Amino acid sequence: TIYVITPTYARLVQKAELTRLAQTFLHVPQLQWIIVEDSPHKTPLVTAFLASSGLAYTHLHTPTPRDRKLQEGDPSWLKPRGAEQRNEGLRWLREDRRGQTGAETQLGVVYFADDDNTYSLQLFDEMRDTQRVSVWPVGLVGGMRYERPVVEGGKVVRFHTGWRPSRPFPLDMAGFAVSLKLVIVNQDACFDGDAPMGFLESSFLQGLVTMDELEPKADNCTKVLVWHTRTEKPKMKREEALQKQGLGSDTTVEV
């Protein structure tokens, strides 16, 4: 089983993003979607969406503490986004397996899929046989056409990135998967929401694996199978003008 952990938060494009993500996952056999809302409660929109999605899912929630939350107007890179939610997903996975015995309860792969990226179906085939940590290129990330591990003789020897290649693991969240076993054995591995910019992935991977042990996928990291797309925030100028006249869109219509 591939356990996909997705942080998500309420905004105008949320349902659209979840819609196309669910359509991707519906093509993938043996996938469980662990969706974690950045919210003090489960929202009706996500609850209803998941119930009619046709996917196997687990619906969690945890709010990002106020001081760690990006505020309106902050540049998006200022604070890590989704760290607490990914940790909540990890907590649930470990908890769910606690007390279960037998090797098969540790079989599986964990992948962190943000709700706005674009995932090819081939990506899931590539990650399925991850032994410890598998890695591959990510398109359109970090101000680059792609970032990727550089592979020589079947091993990752360095990283192609536009920024601080000396970071322990200069990988985007979308660029690796971890075996469930490794997650369970390393009970304390988690994302450090206070990590400096660009070090969030490293804070999790550092205790789990060494560069030498990384398993390169996607043809020795030569194929881009996932893209760090971002969706524009829709402008609501006309809506606001109409609302002032009492002619705004019906707020009971879910968008």
Ligand X SMILES: O=c1ccn([C@@H]2O[C@H](COP(=O)(O)OP(=O)(O)O)[C@@H](O)[C@H]2O)c(=O)[nH]1
Q: Which residues bind ligand X (CB under 6 A)?
A: 6-9, 38, 64, 69-70, 76, 81-82, 85, 114-116, 230
Distance, first Cα to last Cα, the chain: 32
Q: 30 vs 17, 130, 205, CA distance in Å? A: 21, 15, 25
User: From CA 184, how far away is CA 92, in angstroms rounded?
Assistant: 11
Min. distance of Cβ 253 from a copy of itself in angstroms?
6
Active-site residue, 126 included = no
Environment class of 241 (CB within 10 Å of its CB; exposed 0-12, middle 13-18, buried 19+): exposed
Element (H, E) at 203: helix 200-205
Residues engaged in binding a copy of itself (CB under 8 A): 12-13, 15-17, 19-20, 23-24, 26-27, 118-121, 137, 139-140, 142-146, 160, 162-163, 222-224, 227-232, 234-239, 241-242, 248-249, 253-255
Q: How far is the CB of 88 from ligand X (least distance, A)?
A: 10
CB of 38 to ligand X, least distance (A): 3
Q: Any residues with CB less than 8 A from the CB of 238 and at least 6 apart, and which? A: none
To the nearest whole angstrom, how small is the minimum distance from the Cβ of residue 114 to ligand X?
A: 3
Q: For a copy of itself, give the closer residue by CB, 21 or 180.
A: 21
Residue owning tokens 């609850």: 47
Closer Cβ to ligand X, 81 or 181, answer by number: 81
Q: What single-letter DSSP state applies at residue 70?
A: P
**DSSP letter (8 states) at residue 136:** -
Of the pair 82, 108, the CB lying nearest ligand X is at 82
Q: Measured from the CB atom, is 57 or 204 closer to a copy of itself?
A: 57
Which residues are known to be catalytic? 201
